[in-house]
Structure 1
Amino acid sequence: MPRNRIIAAVAAASVLVLTACGTADTPTATAPSGALLPVKLQLQWFYQAQFAGYIAAVDQGFYRAQGLDVTLLEGGVDIVPQTVLAQGKADYAVAWVPKALASREQGAGITDVGQIFARSGTYQVAWKTSGISTAADLKGKKVGNWGFGNEFELFAGMTKAGLNPGKDVTLVQQQFDMQALLKKEIDAAQAMSYNEYAQLLEAKNPATGKLYTADDFSIIDWKTQGSSMLQDAVWANTAKLGDPAYQQQTVKFLTATIQGWAFCRDNAEKCRDLVVAKGSKLGKSHQLWQMNEVNKLIWPAAGGIGVVDGAAWQQTVEISQTTRNQTGDTVLKKAPEGLAYTNDYINQAIDRAKAAGVDVNGAGFQPATVTLTEGGA
């Protein structure tokens, strides 16, 4: 799951401001005629199926066909993708929208040019026997959350349900796994549909000797509670978008990226294998589950993959401005200024992909049924 730290983004603000002038005037690199143009994409976490479309676009030669030699930069605990981008150490970055907007407010010159995940994958999960099935049911409970900017959908959901997140629940700092819930140290745990939730279904019930099933748990899905926020997007350097060469490069990059994600929609097992071969620490059944769940966040894409939906964007911004966490902080102090997002380049890329015969909407997408094994092996 995406866990780049919002604290690190804020701490890097002074660096972003200092580097802004340097990146603004740096011309886009051009390759000799016939040569591939080197491009770096900063991912926001370690290699996993969350990034399968980019991995596939490299492996299948989609980027090369656009004249680009794309290098994927693996993320990690202390890597903030939007900071890497703003400092000129990458050409594009994958980051959650609210975290990237927080960095923009601190001076990072970045623009969302491709909203790949159209839907949020964040859950709050509880034992079915707990009676927790809505945000209102969290009152008086021990509620786990990761923090670091990942908590605002949860806090917005509780606030909407009439709860004061700082008083009506006991907040517990949760590790990036589900052990606290499995050990019943907390009543509800934060999870991504494509990662931590699967960890529950890969765990063995000591009472039966068999794996837990979905019937053992209840899920609060923030998409149905009206407090979901936009997540994985492709971010570009705002100042460099004034350069026609970078504009063309961006369209080419997005065209190949669309092809990569369409390939993974239609070849989930192949993309699972590509991710595993890339060195993921997660097993094959876990990665296939993740590939299937990630596809659900992208497809179907009525307006075309990567197009920013205005209503979803506005909801993300409003939650970012109005929802307070336990310390009273909001993600944003004011509405984003300047070119926070644009659909110009993704629409051009969609037209190119369609002309090449790529299904950019996935209207017929049907998720698979994935059988998990113990430990996700």
Structure 2
Amino acid sequence: MRTRSLIGVAVTAGLLLAGCGTADTPPTTTTASGGVTTVKLQLQWFYQAQFAGYIAAVDKGFYKEQGLDVRLLEGGVDIVPQTVLAQGKADYAVAWVPKALASREQGAGITDVGQIFARSGTYQVAFASSNIKSPADFKGKKVGNWGFGNEFELFAGMTKAGLDPGKDVTLVQQQFDMQALLKKEIDVAQAMSYNEYAQLLEATNPATGQLYKPEDFAIIDWKTVGSSMLQDAVWANTDKLKDKAYQDQTVRFLTATIKGWAYCRDHAEECRDLVVAKGSKLGKGHQLWQVNEVNKLIWPSAEGIGLIAEADWNQTVDISLNTKNQVGDTVLKKKPEGLAYTNDYMRRALDAAKAAGVDVTGSSFKPQTVTLSAGGA
């Protein structure tokens, strides 16, 4: 997922699908003794609080309440979740919308059935002393980005500011940490609000001997700029959605997932501990920050967690169609065809969750103030 270019991911997915197909792939879902159905969920990265709601739904028994034995498949360097799903090796997958749409265009039969993250968590971050305050200020600067399909919000923001990503800036391949910015090898760096940004605040400022503070940095938030794209969503197998049993399973899976994320909204510290116990290599302080920041991307949700807002979907598709990277490629060549997304199953799940007493909107949600420690301990 994170080690391949977006176009490369899409092509790879297409080749894999062309070789294997999906119509003849046996379903992974099996029914265990006692009528409990085993379900596999492919995550898009290693265990961390980005996936706290799913981990909580497993550990607190919410999936079991729905008759499901959910097995979480940890992501990693060479794992493309939407491809794993399309090949029939998982029943559901968590993936960013533009990446999954690129795979759909190459033939992956997948459908967004639950838009868990309603907001983008992607930043570009610079030192406050650099006077970089907006994408227009990137001109002539060294701009770090991860590539691998994570960069199109950045390119859309620069394009909106009148910059040509291929000519007006020096693009630098950035590692999945903030060392290049901290060492001032680049002027502005890509960061997720729930992960890499926290790494800056867990680092020591050599000028003071104390940890860096938020005021030491300038944040360019793509939500404010207007170039944000939809990120973590639950994807289902499109062909299997024709089957009544899979439809029912999807509603039950989403119902328990809602309960898991609502639990992490209301029990952040416990969900932090669940994630750490799962084997995350990040510290407890960093994981609490991550739970808190991820909650901000979900809650409050006026219509209910997981529903796909048409305006946000259309903005993601528009950027995918029209924003070019430094070599002139776009995420998509044409508008998504077929059942790219549906709110039908999530609406049924929301009704079921509400009937069970779950607060599905989080209207009173207030984020915590999390104090970070050196190294995220």
Structures share fold, TM-score greater than 0.5: yes
Aligned twin of 2:9: 8
Q: CA separation in 1, counterparts of 2:97 and 2:204?
A: 35
Aligned twin of 1:85: 85
User: Is the CA contact (8 Å cut-off) linking 1:4 and 1:76 kept in structure 2?
Assistant: no
Q: CA separation in 2, counterparts of 1:32 and 1:326?
A: 50
Instruction: For 1:1-377, list aligned pairs within 5 A.
Output: 3=2, 5=4, 6=6, 7-23=8-24, 26=26, 29=29, 31=31, 34-377=34-377
User: Deviation of residue 31 (structure 1)?
Assistant: 2.5
Task: Rate the CA distance shift 1:241–1:141 in 2: closer, same or farther, 3 A.
Answer: same
Code of the aligned partner of 2:112: D
Code of the aligned partner of 1:112: D
* Number of aligned residue pairs: 375
User: Deviation of residue 23 (structure 1)?
Assistant: 4.9
User: Is the CA contact (8 Å cut-off) linking 2:109 and 2:239 kept in structure 1?
Assistant: yes
User: Is the CA contact (8 Å cut-off) linking 2:41 and 2:73 kept in structure 1?
Assistant: yes
SS of the residue 1:39 aligns to: strand
Identity %: 78
Q: CA RMSD of the aligned region, Å? A: 1.3
User: Deviation of residue 14 (structure 1)?
Assistant: 1.7
User: Deviation of residue 177 (structure 1)?
Assistant: 0.5
Task: Rate the CA distance shift 1:143–1:30 in 2: closer, same or farther, 3 A.
Answer: closer
Q: CA separation in 1, counterparts of 2:296 and 2:190?
A: 19
Code of the aligned partner of 2:18: V
Q: CA separation in 2, counterparts of 1:29 and 1:143?
A: 44
Q: CA separation in 2, counterparts of 1:194 and 1:21?
A: 35
Q: Which runs of 5+ in 2 are unaligned?
A: none
Code of the aligned partner of 1:132: I
User: Is the CA contact (8 Å cut-off) linking 1:9 and 1:80 kept in structure 2?
Assistant: no
Code of the aligned partner of 1:240: K
SS of the residue 1:69 aligns to: strand
User: Deviation of residue 81 (structure 1)?
Assistant: 0.1
User: Deviation of residue 18 (structure 1)?
Assistant: 3.5
User: Is the CA contact (8 Å cut-off) linking 1:110 and 1:237 kept in structure 2?
Assistant: yes
Q: CA separation in 2, counterparts of 1:27 and 1:288?
A: 36
Q: CA separation in 1, counterparts of 2:330 and 2:183?
A: 31
Q: CA separation in 1, counterparts of 2:12 and 2:110?
A: 17
User: Is the CA contact (8 Å cut-off) linking 1:115 and 1:234 kept in structure 2?
Assistant: yes
User: Is the CA contact (8 Å cut-off) linking 2:28 and 2:39 kept in structure 1?
Assistant: no
User: Deviation of residue 8 (structure 1)?
Assistant: 3.2
Q: CA separation in 1, counterparts of 2:318 and 2:217?
A: 31
User: Is the CA contact (8 Å cut-off) linking 2:180 and 2:186 kept in structure 1?
Assistant: yes
Task: Rate the CA distance shift 1:129–1:99 in 2: closer, same or farther, 3 A.
Answer: same
Which deviations, in whole Å up to 9, do the C-alpha atoms of 1:269-294 show, x marking residues without a partner? 00000000000000000000000000
Code of the aligned partner of 2:2: R
Q: CA separation in 1, counterparts of 2:314 and 2:300?
A: 21
User: Is the CA contact (8 Å cut-off) linking 1:101 and 1:336 kept in structure 2?
Assistant: yes
SS of the residue 2:207 aligns to: coil
Which deviations, in whole Å up to 9, do the C-alpha atoms of 1:115-170 show, x marking residues without a partner? 00000000000000000011111111110000011000000000001111111111
Code of the aligned partner of 1:342: T
Q: CA separation in 2, counterparts of 1:374 and 1:235?
A: 37
Q: CA separation in 2, counterparts of 1:109 and 1:256?
A: 24
Q: Which runs of 5+ in 1 are unaligned?
A: none
User: Is the CA contact (8 Å cut-off) linking 1:20 and 1:108 kept in structure 2?
Assistant: no
SS of the residue 1:360 aligns to: coil
Which deviations, in whole Å up to 9, do the C-alpha atoms of 1:39-79 show, x marking residues without a partner? 00000000000000000000000000000000000000110
Task: Rate the CA distance shift 1:192–1:245 in 2: closer, same or farther, 3 A.
Answer: same
Q: CA separation in 2, counterparts of 1:153 and 1:15?
A: 27
Task: Rate the CA distance shift 1:147–1:364 in 2: closer, same or farther, 3 A.
Answer: same
Code of the aligned partner of 1:368: Q
Task: Rate the CA distance shift 1:356–1:170 in 2: closer, same or farther, 3 A.
Answer: same
Code of the aligned partner of 1:92: Y
SS of the residue 1:205 aligns to: coil
Q: CA separation in 1, counterparts of 2:50 and 2:314?
A: 24
SS of the residue 1:12 aligns to: helix
Q: CA separation in 1, counterparts of 2:24 and 2:340?
A: 17
Task: Rate the CA distance shift 1:35–1:129 in 2: closer, same or farther, 3 A.
Answer: same
Code of the aligned partner of 2:93: A
Code of the aligned partner of 1:14: L
